Amino acid sequence: MSDQNPVFIPGPTNMPDRLRRAMQVQTMDHRSPAFAAAPAPVREGCKRVFGTEAGEIVLFPASGTGGWEAAITNTLSPGDRVLVARYGMFSHRWIDMCQRHGLDVQILDCAWGSGAPAERFAEALQADRGHEIKAVLVTHNETATGVKSDIAAVRAAMDGARHPALLMVDCVSSLASMPFEMDAWGVDVAVSGSQKGFMLATGMAIVAVSTKALAAAETARLPRTFFDFRDMLGAYAKGGFPYTPPLQLIFGLDESLKMLFEEGLEQVYARHARLAEGVRRAVDAWGLKLVAEAPELYSDTVSAIYVPEGKDSNALVNHAFATYGMSFGVGLGEMNGRAFRIGHLGSLTDAMVLSGLATIEMAMADLDYPVRLGSGVIAAQAHFRATARPAMADKAA
């Protein structure tokens, strides 16, 4: 029965039965009129979640990493300079991808636990008088450290420097869970995936592209075939797909969007913020510390938590799984062995979060952590009780 336990990793997330049923569709001819109408409402719904009216949505059979590759290969040429801050494992991986593609990567190294340094971006862009920097790449929600960055502040730095670079944002672990405003923040390419806030299986990169980025695609010279924006958009215009589409995921995404809109995006964001605060209060009651350096950086989708000196976070996560059948996130990169992660995004309720907090408390007690059994659960319960809304409120609305 342990496969019924919720997972508390920051993705893939728990998959509602409603979405699993939506993906249980028979094979369809993707070149038939029956399929032609399927992608359009999905792409339109995604625009609402990304916060864009002018942007185009492109759906690739890939994970978020494929979306990263699509972002750079469609808009850049060999040797182009990109500006990136490294403050966690996923910003580091995007840097690595850019280097492998022969781009000139200007790196701003930051402490893990900090966010995107808008002031340092401003300095670098102001110093680039010849506009050699062609793109600024930012990770909105750094999953390795539980840090949310201020994308609007990065855009303000770019505008203040009057710099024409593209702004590309990884919002894989934030989209559909925390507010994202592509148009308002002046984002040119935003990359997400099916397996986190959308509560689906891994396998679809969901990319939003501005008109400015589409114009850059006309002259960009990095090779791309599978990830070509022009091929995808051309096929959509004809009611098709340039190759075999991830049919089941497209139908699942259609149902996921219906669920998000039924709850209401503002309520979705409020639920994530509320659950995240419950987890943070539990962490404080345990006497432990978040990796995120300041409250304004706290992510509403994942909390990375330092373990006490002399403890191994990987041993804690492994023990929780082996003994209680529940999954938590291991420490990545510089956090390996030093921190574990509690994912609190997607399909989650108060009761589900409390089960995770109770389970990791038991695991910590088993391994002689200086944690009083029940302390974190009580702290989260107090927050949830004080902020509760009727469980049926959304359905009645």
**DSSP collapsed to 3 states, the chain:** CHHHCCCECCCCCCCCHHHHHHHCCCCCCCCCHHHHCCHHHHHHHHHHHHCCCCCEEEEECCCHHHHHHHHHHCCCCCCCEEEEEECCHHHHHHHHHHHHCCCEEEEEECCECECCCHHHHHHHHHHCCCCCEEEEEEECEECCCCEECCHHHHHHHHHHCCCCCEEEEECCCCCCCCCCCHHHHCCCEEEEECCCCCCCCCCCEEEEECHHHHHHHCCCCCCCCCCCHHHHHHHHHCCCCCCCCCHHHHHHHHHHHHHHHHHCHHHHHHHHHHHHHHHHHHHHHHCCEECCCCHHHECCCEEEEECCCCCCHHHHHHHHHHHHCCCEECCCHHHCCCEEEEECCCCCCHHHHHHHHHHHHHHHHHCCCCCCCCHHHHHHHHHHHHCCCCCCHHHHC
Q: How many domains does the chain have?
A: 2
pLDDT of the residue at 4: 84
Render pLDDT for 289-317 as a digit per residue (tens, 0 to 9): 999 999 999 999 999 999 999 999 999 99
Q: Residues 282, 186: one domain?
A: no
Q: Residues 220, 335: one domain?
A: no
Using the predicted structure, report yes or no on whether residue 353 has a pLDDT greater than 60.
yes
Q: Which residue has the higher pLDDT, 25 or 187?
A: 187
Q: Residues 165, 226: one domain?
A: yes
Q: What is the mean pLDDT of residues 329-334?
A: 97
The band of 2, judged by pLDDT with boundaries at 50, 70 and 90, is low
Q: Which residue has the higher pLDDT, 90 or 1?
A: 90
With beta carbons less than 8 A apart as the criterion, state whether 25 and 317 touch.
Answer: no
Domain boundary among 227, 261, 295: 261
Q: Residues 251, 268: one domain?
A: no
Q: Residues 113, 203: one domain?
A: yes
Render pLDDT for 40-62 as a digit per residue (tens, 0 to 9): 999 999 999 999 999 999 999 99
Q: Residues 90, 207: one domain?
A: yes
CATH classification of the domain holding 166: 3.40.640.10
Q: Residues 8, 37: one domain?
A: no
Q: Residues 275, 324: one domain?
A: yes
81 bridge partner residues: 104, 133
Render pLDDT for 112-122 as a digit per residue (tens, 0 to 9): 999 999 999 99
Using the predicted structure, report yes or no on whether residue 192 has a pLDDT greater than 50.
yes
Question: How many C-beta neighbours within 10 Å does residue 119 have?
Answer: 9
Domain boundary among 196, 226, 261: 261
pLDDT of the residue at 306: 98
Strand pairing category for 141-142 and 147-148: antiparallel
Q: What is the mean pLDDT of residues 222-231?
A: 97
Q: Residues 276, 251: one domain?
A: no
Q: Residues 109, 234: one domain?
A: yes
How large a percentage of the chain has pLDDT more than 70?
A: 98
Q: Residues 42, 106: one domain?
A: yes
The band of 224, judged by pLDDT with boundaries at 50, 70 and 90, is very high
pLDDT of the residue at 389: 81
329 bridge partner residues: 341
Question: How many C-beta neighbours within 10 Å does residue 273 have?
Answer: 17
Using the predicted structure, report yes or no on whether residue 392 has a pLDDT greater than 60.
no
The band of 393, judged by pLDDT with boundaries at 50, 70 and 90, is low
Q: What is the mean pLDDT of residues 219-224?
A: 98
Using the predicted structure, report yes or no on whether residue 391 has a pLDDT greater than 80.
no
pLDDT of the residue at 73: 98
Q: What is the mean pLDDT of residues 359-364?
A: 98
Q: Which residue has the higher pLDDT, 86 or 33?
A: 86
Q: What is the mean pLDDT of residues 368-381?
A: 98
* CA pair distance 7, 302, nearest whole angstrom: 12
Using the predicted structure, report yes or no on whether residue 76 has a pLDDT greater than 50.
yes
Average per-residue pLDDT for the chain: 96
- Domain containing 233 equals 17-261
Using the predicted structure, report yes or no on whether residue 383 has a pLDDT greater than 50.
yes
CATH classification of the domain holding 315: 3.90.1150.10
Domain boundary among 212, 238, 261: 261
* CA pair distance 158, 136, nearest whole angstrom: 9
How large a percentage of the chain has pLDDT more than 90?
A: 93
Q: Residues 269, 257: one domain?
A: no
**Buried-exposed string 335-367: b where 16+ CB fall within 10 A, e elsewhere:** beebbbbbbbbbbbebebbbbbbbbbbbbbeee
Using the predicted structure, report yes or no on whether residue 397 has a pLDDT greater than 60.
no
Using the predicted structure, report yes or no on whether residue 143 has a pLDDT greater than 80.
yes
Structure tokens at 257: 């969007």
pLDDT of the residue at 390: 74
* CA pair distance 302, 142, nearest whole angstrom: 9
